[in-house]
């Protein structure tokens, strides 16, 4: 972690991996973001899933094991558990306490379900615990978390899932769509400042873990749509010139200099389908809400396309 953070904070321009947004507090703040009126992805995706459920159930078939990547509060998966014929669930998340808490709740609420939890950084490659039979898997990657990878890393990640999921397995992915810039920017600059708090919390996380003496009042949150790259960028801008120390190394920030903390890529339906195809997935079905805000894709792992591509981890925002 020290090396990774130091590399980012001494790079030009400065960056920090978005995974450091998600300590316990960050995961809770993200749950609050999901409830905000400006943050349309969560409620839109949930509505799409609810409407598409009979079709999803038919595509997933009987007795599948559901594997959720970045399970967070495991809220959306409840929709699937209630409608699909699922016997076994595996939640994978980087935030340990949050993962334990949410999978415990799932196990209590669905006594018939075999629940497993794996605390892992799935952006560094995925291996399934031995208890999981790899034959009948349905992957679930909701919330447009795929948008937090660069398109190259998204393709690398999907390719690593393709290695994991035997031919014919399903992968249900939520993907946020390109749209009116005002709607996009409002979603990352909410009136209550929760997203700002979520971004600034990264500094508290790094201070606690690495001892960097960040003063959060010396930074402010900035988020905007970069149309050329088709992504929302989130930054922490330094209000003043400042000098920080990490394990004997000096980090200098100029007034106004930013630390780039997150990208959230927005796709067209066909753009995402092409990316998935390059990673070995065929598109079986796609659902979109009436306003064209968000898409949910049911992909299937195609046989004979196990490209030996090296998985690229999500180093940069
Ligand atoms: C988790 N991820 C899909 C969110 C997004 O929209 O990119 C994270 C987020 N960042 C700010 N608000 C929400």
pLDDT in tens, the chain (317 residues): 899 999 999 999 999 999 999 898 998 999 999 999 999 999 999 999 999 999 999 999 888 899 999 876 677 899 999 988 888 999 988 888 889 999 999 999 999 999 999 998 877 777 788 877 777 899 999 999 999 999 999 999 999 888 888 888 999 999 999 999 999 999 999 999 999 999 999 999 999 999 999 999 999 999 999 999 999 999 999 999 999 999 899 999 999 999 999 999 999 999 999 999 999 999 999 999 999 999 999 999 987 544 444 344 444 56
Q: 187: which 2 tokens?
A: 């979603």
CA distance 141 to 138: 10
Atom of ligand 1 nearest to the CA of 223: 11
Q: Is the CB of 70 under 6 A from ligand 1?
A: no
> Looking at ligand 1, which residue's alpha carbon is closest to its atom 2?
145
Q: Is the CB of 145 under 6 A from ligand 1?
A: yes
Q: Is the CB of 194 under 6 A from ligand 1?
A: no
CA distance 193 to 113: 38
Beta strands in the chain (DSSP E): 14-15, 64-69, 86-93, 114-119, 137-141, 170-176, 219-226, 231-238, 242-246, 249-253, 258-265, 281-288, 294-301
> Looking at ligand 1, which residue's alpha carbon is closest to its atom 1?
145
Residue 182 three-state SS: helix
CA distance 138 to 86: 9
Out of 28, 148, 173, give the residue to mutate to test ligand 1, the one with the largest number of ligand atoms within 8 Å of its CB: 148
Q: Is the CB of 317 under 6 A from ligand 1?
A: no
Q: Is the CB of 8 under 6 A from ligand 1?
A: no
What are the φ/ψ torsions at residue 283 (nearest 5 degrees)?
Answer: -95, 115
CA distance 223 to 263: 9
pLDDT score of 305: 47
Q: 91: which 2 tokens?
A: 């939640």
CA distance 205 to 92: 21
pLDDT score of 313: 40
Q: Is the CB of 262 under 6 A from ligand 1?
A: yes
Q: Give yes or no for a contact between 85 and 57, defined as CB atoms under 8 angstroms apart.
A: yes
pLDDT score of 95: 82
CA distance 14 to 235: 10
Q: 90: which 2 tokens?
A: 């595996």
């Amino acid at each position: 972690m020290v090396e990774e953070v130091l590399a980012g904070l001494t790079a030009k321009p400065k960056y920090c991996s978005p995974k450091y947004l998600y300590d316990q507090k960050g995961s809770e703040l993200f749950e609050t973001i999901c409830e905000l009126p400006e943050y349309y992805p969560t409620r839109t995706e949930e509505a799409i899933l609810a409407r598409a459920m009979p079709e999803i159930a038919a595509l997933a078939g009987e007795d599948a094991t559901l594997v959720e990547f970045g399970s967070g509060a495991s809220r959306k998966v409840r929709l699937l558990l209630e409608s699909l014929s699922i016997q076994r669930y595996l939640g994978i998340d980087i935030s340990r306490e949050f993962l334990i808490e949410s999978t415990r709740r799932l196990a209590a609420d669905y006594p018939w379900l075999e629940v497993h939890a794996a605390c892992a950084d799935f952006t560094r490659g995925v291996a399934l615990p031995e208890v999981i039979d790899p034959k009948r898997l349905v992957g679930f990657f909701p919330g447009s978390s795929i948008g937090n990878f660069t398109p190259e890393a998204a393709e690398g990640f999907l390719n690593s899932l393709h290695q994991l999921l035997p031919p014919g397995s399903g992968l249900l992915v939520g993907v946020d769509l390109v749209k009116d810039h005002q709607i996009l920017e409002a979603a990352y600059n909410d009136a209550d400042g929760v997203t700002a708090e979520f971004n600034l919390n990264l500094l508290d996380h790094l201070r606690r873990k690495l001892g960097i003496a960040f003063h959060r009042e010396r930074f402010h949150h900035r988020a905007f749509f970069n149309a050329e790259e088709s992504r929302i960028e989130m930054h922490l801008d330094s209000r003043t010139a400042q000098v920080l120390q990490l394990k004997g190394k000096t980090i200098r920030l100029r007034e106004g200099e930013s630390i780039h903390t997150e990208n959230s890529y927005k796709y067209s339906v066909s753009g995402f389908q092409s990316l998935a195809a390059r990673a070995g997935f065929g598109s079986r079905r796609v659902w979109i809400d009436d306003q064209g805000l968000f898409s949910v894709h049911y992909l299937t792992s195609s046989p004979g396309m196990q490209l030996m591509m090296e998985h690229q981890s999500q180093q940069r925002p």
